[in-house]
Amino acid sequence: MALRRGFRHVVALAGGVGGAKLVEGLAKCLPDGALTVIGNTGDDFRHYGLHVSPDLDTVMYTLAGIAHPVNGWGIADDTRHMLSMLARYGEETWFGLGDHDLATNILRTHWLAQGMPLSAVTARLCQRLGVTTCLLPMTDDLLATVVYTVEYGRLAFQEYFVRHRWQPTVQRLVYEGAEAAQPAAGVLEALETAEAIIICPSNPLLSIEPILQVRAIREAIKARRAPCLAVSPIIEGAALKGPTVKIMRELGLRADVAGVSSYYGDLIDALVVDEADREVDIQQRRFVTNIRMMNSADRVRLAEEVLLMIGDLA
Amino acid sequence: MALRRGFRHVVALAGGVGGAKLVEGLAKCLPDGALTVIGNTGDDFRHYGLHVSPDLDTVMYTLAGIAHPVNGWGIADDTRHMLSMLARYGEETWFGLGDHDLATNILRTHWLAQGMPLSAVTARLCQRLGVTTCLLPMTDDLLATVVYTVEYGRLAFQEYFVRHRWQPTVQRLVYEGAEAAQPAAGVLEALETAEAIIICPSNPLLSIEPILQVRAIREAIKARRAPCLAVSPIIEGAALKGPTVKIMRELGLRADVAGVSSYYGDLIDALVVDEADREVDIQQRRFVTNIRMMNSADRVRLAEEVLLMIGDLA
């Protein structure tokens, strides 16, 4: 409880499922209102006219306690009846929109069409679900991660990730719209007033880099006074989830904890690695612990340890 | 079977559930491709950004054999999971969008947003569901039935009909957009080449009048060479379904078969009334039969009788 009182404001950068796990732990360790999450919207896309924000929703559903316990994304016990009817119409069903999940996407699309920025939409959705953590999209502008692949050429992110199950070989990632994208309202203020910045164990290239591609966000982190610490999404050269290692290899990066370390470089002051990686050479200060989050208790434990490490850094 | 071969092209004007029943019967009695239905879009509205066309969908689902057997509208065995999540978000749930039904509305909204006119959208939806009857919206333009009520003032149609369960007292009906609305592609051609025009047992003011408010449609029916026959939606001063009698009374019209007769006036050559109304005085030629459609066999029986009556008129 000393820890909880110790921080008044912590910022976490998070992608989808992996990031949401640590976010949940942090939300439980910190006082109400002390956590701001900056979420990735590089995965956002329009699907049958609906504005889908997969990473924001994963964080929101996790914090609301309604996330699917196995998948990590989507809503627990959701059904897919709309999708089955879409199939009857001969339409595409590769993107698994659940019926409950649809309500989120319909509301978001409706409110955006009314002129609300995504940040305000996200705040309202969170508030309605009783989520007290502040969840901010990195930007209210369009910034789309686009994947150039050997097999299919240019793929929109969800086509690469969901439709082709991240199997195509990545040649190049492009973050379209990055030049013009401004941080969403509240993002810079959060970074500037944070006592600590935590980069969650999300895919550095697919989940964190789109956030950093908003120039003002990267600059704010570079100019930080507070410590910035990342938790590795890789253990012993294997990704905790998804294509992290595969993509890093395909792009010619070292695909292990050392690769993560050089990827973030001086953006972070410390990297939290698993016990299995205690010997790997990294550029920043190293913290070692068990970074696997297999259940809710693990999430809280790791979050508490991370907050302790930050206390150690400061 | 003589009958089926007897007609090459019949046009039916239909609203929702009542009209769809006779349409189903006609579709079963006529050769493939011989029936064109002109559907009412005065009930259409945007709900959470989705373009909902309740009457078109009722006809389409009925013809596709997937309509809800008890309600008449919506899809059989549909669920309401999206709606339950919308409720969790604290949003309005008075309009009962089923999960399967949502697929139709999402596709319609998506295709409209891509620039397809409603008539092309409707044709595509029908084709995908295997509906071979030609279903045309009366117009691709906006023509919205608006209800002025004693209790609430101006109500959008679905607010009056669904939200307030047609209980408010109607002072006036306004068909907004009627002056500018043009018939959808194919509508005038269908009316001009029809061998018979049938006005289904739908609410004259809420379902048929919006169609007739498209000036060119009313003029085409007035200028018809083919016989036009209506089936009464009222038996012994009671509506077969919904607020027909209630509204006619509230608007100071005679609310029985004679009222229907004078409402349509010289737009029709004959009125089909129930045996119970065989003595009521009407302006047009009278045909008498059992006009209740309690099951699928009734729909075919009444349709066959109506086609026989038309043969008699011609």
Q: What is the pLDDT of residues A211-237, one digit of tens each?
A: 999 999 999 999 999 999 999 999 999
Task: Count how many Cα atoms sit within 13 Å of the Cα of residue A45 in the half-sphere of its side chain.
Answer: 16
Which H/E stretch holds residue A308? helix A296-313
Question: Which string of b and e fits B254-275 if b means at least 16 CB within 10 Å?
Answer: ebbbbbbbebbeebbbbbbbbe
Residue-level pLDDT at A196: 97
Question: pLDDT at position A194, please?
Answer: 97
Please judge whether B129 and A82 are an interchain contact, meaning their C-beta atoms are less than 8 angstroms apart. Answer: no
- The percentage of residues in chain B with a pLDDT greater than 70, rounded to a whole number, is 98
Which pLDDT band, with edges at 50, 70 and 90, does B241 fall under?
confident
The domain that holds A95 is classified in CATH as 3.40.50.10680
Give tens-digit pLDDT for A81-95.
999 999 999 999 999
Output phi, psi for B285, to 5 deg: -60, 140
Mean pLDDT computed over B108-126: 98
- Among A87, A134, A120, A80, CA closest to A102: A80
Q: Say which amino acid occupies B15.
A: G
User: Following CA atoms A12, A18, A21, A25 in sequence, which dihedral angle do they give, to the nearest 10 degrees?
Assistant: -40
What's the confidence (pLDDT) of residue A4? 52
| Domain span holding position A31 | 2-313
B4 pLDDT band (50/70/90 cuts)? low
Chain B residues closer than 8 Å to A51 by CB: none
Q: Point out the residue among A85, A100, A128 whose CB comes nearest to the CB of B81.
A: A100
Residue of A nearest to B112 (CA): A49
pLDDT band at A240 (very low <50, low <70, confident <90, very high): confident
CA distances from A29 to A7, A131, A187, A300, B260 (A): 10, 15, 22, 7, 71
Q: How confident is the model at residue B2 (pLDDT cuts 50, 70, 90)?
A: very low
**How far apart are the C-alpha atoms of B111 and B242, rounded to whole Å?**
31
- Check residue A6 and give its pLDDT: 81
Instruction: List chain A residues with CB under 8 Å of B48.
Output: 106-107, 110
Helices of type H across B44-197: 54-64, 81-88, 99-113, 118-128, 157-158, 187-193
For residue range A276-296, list pLDDT tens digits in order. 999 999 999 999 999 999 999
Burial of A268 (0-12, 13-18, 19+ CB in 10 A): buried
Sequence-distant (≥ 6) Cβ neighbours of residue B252 within 8 angstroms: none
Strand partners, A134: A36
Nearest alpha-carbon partner for B36 in B183, B153, B167 = B183
Name residue A148's amino acid.
Y
Which residue intervals of chain B are DSSP H helices?
2-6, 17-29, 54-64, 81-88, 99-113, 118-128, 157-158, 187-193, 209-212, 215-222, 244-250, 257-264, 296-313
Residues of B in contact with A48 (CB under 8 A): 106-107, 110
Chains A, B: CB contacts within 8 A come to: 93
Residues on chain B touching A100 (C-beta within 8 angstroms): 81-82, 84-85
Report the mean per-residue pLDDT for chain A. 96
Show which residues on chain B lie within 8 Å of chain A, measured between beta carbons: 48-50, 75, 78-79, 81-86, 88-91, 98-104, 106-107, 109-110, 113, 125, 128-129
Structure pTM?
Answer: 0.95
Q: Does the pLDDT of residue B277 top 50, yes or no?
A: yes
Q: Which of A91, A99, A125 sits opposite B99 (nearest CB)?
A: A99
Beta bridge partners of B176: B144
User: Do the chains contact at A103 and B125, CB–CB below 8 Å?
Assistant: no
Looking at this predicted complex, what is its ipTM? 0.93
* pLDDT tens digits for range A125-136: 999 999 999 999
Collapsing DSSP to helix, strand or coil, A25 comes out as helix
Q: Which of A81, A89, A103 sits opposite B89 (nearest CB)?
A: A103
Note the pLDDT of residue B281: 94
Q: What is the pLDDT of residues A143-168, one digit of tens each?
A: 999 999 999 999 999 999 999 999 99
Structure token pair of residue B8: 């090459």
Q: To which residue do tokens 């953590």 refer? A: A133
Note the pLDDT tens digit of each residue in A16-34.
Answer: 999 999 999 999 999 999 9
- Model confidence at A9: pLDDT above 90: yes
Cα–Cα dist A280/B267, whole Å: 88
pLDDT, chain B, mean:
96
Number of domains in chain B: 1
H-helix or E-strand spanning residue A187: helix A187-193
Assess contact for A213 and A177: CB atoms under 8 A: no
d(C-alpha A40, C-alpha A85), whole Å? 30
- For residue B272, the model assigns a pLDDT of 98
- CB contacts, 8 Å: A125 with chain B: 89
Model pLDDT for residues B14-32, shown as the tens digit of each residue: 999 999 999 999 999 999 9
